[in-house]
Amino acid sequence: MKRLKCTIEYDGTNFSGFQIQPNGRTIQGDFEKVLKTIHKGMDIRIYSSGRTDAGVHARGQVIHFDSPLVIPTERWERALNALLPNDIAVKTVEEVDPDFHARFQVRKKEYRYFLLTQKTRDVFSRNYSYHFPYPLDLERMRAGAGYLTGTHDFTSFCSAKTEIEDKIRTIEEIDIIEDGQKIVFRFIGNGFLYNMVRIIVGTLLQVGQGKLEPIDIKFILEKKDRTLAGETAPPHGLYLWQVWY
């Protein structure tokens, strides 16, 4: 048995999310179908660094699986890319130690969230960034984001639907970068709760519009109450960008 680690990219637009489910197209479902073909009918399970929701994209999702086949890694890459649908691509394939685990050994992750601020809609980015044509004060948003970096209980910024008990996470870095008509939010941290990045973005947008003060972010964190934070920003602006092990 060989354990293979793959870095994959996908356009989340036409998927019901990463995780396999009885109805709807999923990244896991499509990938495992291809592995089954390569293994002549044998079921091969994949493990990812974490799920992504419907509509969320990935530039650098990481998965692993075990295979009895003896194939050089370049040929794995070619075989997978030839069989995968055109909205999933394999960027790299490496053979790793049998104790490597795509989920349990994550050291940190980077997510990016893209806003498009121009007045008129851009048809080409309709599925790839959130169109938000309203004035935003970036300095206020950066000040608000400052309260989120470090180690905190992120209960207020996590979907109430979560079953995870431990809501303490460390955000190492939040950058908010303006690039012409785009605003890019970069988040690096040791882990992110369900919907956490999208709720943070939704809340920072309220700070940027003057509906909340930067210091309110501190109070919202302290209250551990999801209803105090802003709306969950839409999925199509979000990208799982990179995973470090």
Catalytic residue check, 53: yes
Bridge partners of residue 5, in order along the sequence: 64, 94
Is residue 25 part of the contact set for its own copies (CB under 8 A)? no
Q: Does residue 10 touch its own copies according to CB under 8 A?
A: yes
Q: Is 111 annotated as a binding residue?
A: yes
**Given candidates 44, 89, 184, 228, which one binds its own copies under the rule CB under 8 A?**
89
- The one among 126, 151, 168, 178 contacting its own copies by CB under 8 A: 126
Nearest to 132 by CA among 11, 229, 228, 236: 236
**Does 75 participate in binding its own copies (rule CB under 8 A)?**
no
Minimum Å distance from CB 146 to its own copies? 31
Q: Are 184 and 212 in contact (CB under 8 A)?
A: no
Under 8 Å between Cβ of 237 and 114? yes
Cβ proximity of 217 and 144 under 8 Å:
yes
Q: Per the residue annotation, which of 11, 43, 53, 97 is the catalytic one?
A: 53
Give whichever of 81 and 159 is closer to its own copies, judged by the CB atom: 81
Burial class (CB in 10 A: 0-12, 13-18, 19+), 63: buried
Residues that bind its own copies (CB under 8 A): 9-11, 57, 77, 81, 86-91, 120-124, 126, 128
Query: Which active-site residues does the annotation give?
Result: 53
